[in-house]
Amino acid sequence: MTRLPRALPYASLLLPALLLTGCGEQRQAADQTEVASRARALGIAPEHVYAIEADGYTVAQQSVGVYGGDGFSAVYVSRSTGGQIQLRVDRTEMTPKTCPEQPVGDASGGHTECRKDGDAWYRSAGDQREYAVPKDGHVVRVGGGPGVSRDVLREAALGAHHPTEEELDTLLPGNGGGGGGGNGGGEGNGTGGGGGNGGGGGAGEGGEPVERGDLPPVGDGAPNNDVNAGG
């Protein structure tokens, strides 16, 4: 089932938002093996992971996730205006025929207008606007509502790129990033899950029972709760 990302409340975006825009310095591209490892852990195709830059906008880390089957989505927010830019990447085509058939951002229903703008498509429906840039086998979409100007959307869309090392650590943190979808479910071999090691069954490493010091060697095996004389 396709999961469509929704615009997030402004207040919920500010606290974890991390600035991705640089100061003009040369930044090293992220290792593609690392990109693939982190992306596939979330069900995202590595080639769909992109980052954008827009003056004053930061990415909200909790907004990052899978879009559609194996696409990518993220929301960037402006601290000063509260405007939100939605980045979406998925396997689709953007042609004169298919462009009007596809929704724009969070707009539901209504007519989609499409205008070619260089290598991109400028699309609008209701109060939602979007630039769609066709790539090799996928489309990068950068959109927003009335609070984001067309020029900002265009510049961000045309400048969309695969992430640098710094951007990757913000968009897709590694194993130590505290993500909510880690291993450790009901199998009992993972860490941090409800059925992981040291769970309710009291098993230690390797599934062996843990030796308890309060169990007497003889009798019915009940814990020894005797109180010392001074107690």
pLDDT in tens, 60-112: 999 999 999 999 999 999 989 889 999 999 999 999 999 999 999 877 667 89
Mean pLDDT of the chain: 76
Of 16, 23, 28, nearest in space to 168 by CA:
28
- Angle 121-74-40 from CA coordinates, rounded to 5°: 105
Please write the tens of the pLDDT for every residue from 36-45: 999 999 999 9
Sign of CA dihedral 197, 201, 202, 207: negative
Please write the tens of the pLDDT for every residue from 125-155: 999 999 999 999 999 999 999 999 999 999 9
The pTM for the full model equals: 0.66
What's the Cα-to-Cα distance from 20 to each of 103, 120, 139, 171, rounded to whole Å? 28, 24, 22, 9
CATH number of 10-175: 3.40.1000
What does the DSSP assignment read for 162-202?
Answer: --BHHHHHHHS--GGG--TT-S-STTS-SSSSTTSTT-TT-
